[in-house]
């Protein structure tokens, strides 16, 4: 049974059975969640033995192995039934059980199904800060279940001849972001560390715009050619490089403004993002935290 908390580096072997992965291509029409929340889910083949289920929350990856399924990210709370139905269609010819779920950050769109997975006896793995950050959802009056297994920096998962590497490279979207790397497929799941829209660090959850670029730099050291974000279609390595370049330029511009004496209340007005099509609306404590991390970086530079 998988239950213990681990510190890095660590390795977990769920089952070490070598087998042949099933290759099942399936794109079907939507199943419905409970009547209160109808949902459309779409299945796409990413690479042999790896499927993407989109809709109903964050993107969900399904990795087939000889001993069962690895899921990366769940859905919003009401979409558990629809997700399970879609997963069963993917593995219908070999009837593989879900053996583990990995969540890439504490947001409800991927952690909303934690409670039901855990009740079904499926372990949920996340970076250790996710366990701390999961709090009561005031709208639903329900608590998002924390992960049953946590790690600090590095975690290796082996199941039925398949390997998945879980890595936390630092604070970016949140302080609990997990990158999931499937080395033999050269595929990396980055959660919300890539977005087709404006980057949105959750400062209240330990997120950082200043550290986002360095986190992406660590991901780019891995050998991959397909990137799976939490929203939208899969992207290429070049797309991730281009996104990192924009963040680096943005942060550099912000640093120059702070170094030149621009006040906090004038920062966003003077920060040019038109060439990226990005619009930052940081206010209150979020703006305080963004300005503070820029000021901290300025002080570190001055001390060198």
Task: Establish if 190 belongs to a structural domain.
Answer: no
**Rounded Cα gap, residues 88 and 71, in angstroms:** 12
Number of residues written out for the chain: 304
CATH code (residue 146) = 3.60.15.10
Task: Establish if 182 belongs to a structural domain.
Answer: no
**Rounded Cα gap, residues 256 and 8, in angstroms:** 36
- Residues with Cβ within 8 Å of 60's Cβ and at least 6 positions away in sequence, in order, are 52, 53, 54, 71, 72, 73, 74, 75, 83, 110
Contact 130, 103 (CB under 8 A): yes
Task: Establish if 47 belongs to a structural domain.
Answer: yes
Domain membership of residue 135 as a residue range: 10-168
**Residue 302's pLDDT is what?**
54
Task: Establish if 56 belongs to a structural domain.
Answer: yes
Alpha-carbon dihedral sign for residues 248, 249, 255, 256: positive
**Taking the CA atoms of the chain, what radius of gyration do you get in angstroms?**
20
Of 159, 176, 227, 58, the residue nearest 167 (C-alpha): 176
Number of domains comprising the chain: 1
pTM of the model: 0.86
DSSP β-bridge partners for residue 45:
51
Per-10-residue mean pLDDT for the chain, 304 residues long? Answer: 41 38 36 54 97 98 97 97 96 89 97 97 97 65 85 98 98 98 98 96 96 98 98 98 98 96 96 95 96 80 52
User: What region does 57 belong to: left with phi over 0, alpha with psi -120 to 50, or beta?
Assistant: left
Task: Establish if 108 belongs to a structural domain.
Answer: yes
**Which pairs with CB-CB distance under 8 Å and at least 24 residues apart come from 137-145?**
137/108, 140/77, 142/77, 142/115, 144/106, 144/108, 144/111, 144/112, 144/114, 144/115, 145/111, 145/114, 145/115, 145/118
Q: At what angle do helices 237-259 and 284-303 cross, to 10 degrees?
A: 80
**Residue 27's pLDDT is what?**
36
DSSP codes joined into one string, 255-299: HHHHHTT--HHHHHHH---TTTT------HHHHHHHHHHHHHHHH
Task: Establish if 31 belongs to a structural domain.
Answer: yes
Task: Establish if 177 belongs to a structural domain.
Answer: no
Contact 68, 96 (CB under 8 A): yes
Task: Establish if 83 belongs to a structural domain.
Answer: yes
């Amino acid at each position: 049974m998988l239950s213990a908390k681990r510190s890095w580096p660590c390795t977990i072997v769920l089952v070490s059975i070598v087998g042949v992965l099933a290759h099942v291509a399936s794109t079907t029409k939507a199943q419905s969640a409970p009547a209160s929340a109808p949902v459309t889910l779409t299945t796409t083949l990413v690479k042999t033995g790896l499927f993407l289920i989109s809709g109903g929350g964050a993107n969900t990856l399904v990795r087939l192995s000889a001993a069962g399924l690895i899921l990366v990210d769940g859905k919003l709370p009401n979409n558990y039934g629809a997700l399970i139905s879609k997963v069963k269609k993917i593995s219908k010819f070999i009837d593989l059980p879900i053996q583990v779920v990995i969540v890439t950050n504490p947001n409800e769109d991927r952690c909303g199904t934690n409670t039901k997975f855990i009740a079904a006896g499926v372990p949920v793995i996340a970076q250790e800060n996710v366990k701390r950050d999961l709090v009561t959802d005031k709208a639903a009056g329900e608590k998002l279940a924390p992960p049953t297994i946590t790690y600090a920096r590095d975690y290796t998962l082996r199941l039925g001849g398949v390997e998945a590497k879980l890595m936390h490279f630092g604070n970016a979207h949140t302080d609990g972001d997990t990158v999931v790397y499937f080395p033999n497929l050269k595929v990396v799941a980055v959660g919300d560390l890539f977005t087709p829209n404006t980057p949105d660090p959750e400062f209240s959850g330990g997120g950082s715009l200043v550290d986002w670029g360095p986190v992406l730099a660590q991901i780019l050291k891995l050998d991959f050619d397909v990137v799976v974000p939490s929203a939208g279609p899969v992207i290429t390595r070049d797309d991730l490089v281009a996104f990192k370049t924009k963040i680096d330029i943005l942060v550099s511009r912000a640093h120059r403004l702070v170094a030149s004496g621009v006040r906090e209340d004038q920062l966003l007005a003077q920060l040019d993002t038109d060439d990226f099509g990005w619009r930052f609306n940081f206010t209150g404590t979020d703006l305080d935290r963004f300005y503070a991390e820029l000021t901290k970086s300025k002080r570190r530079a001055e001390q060198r």
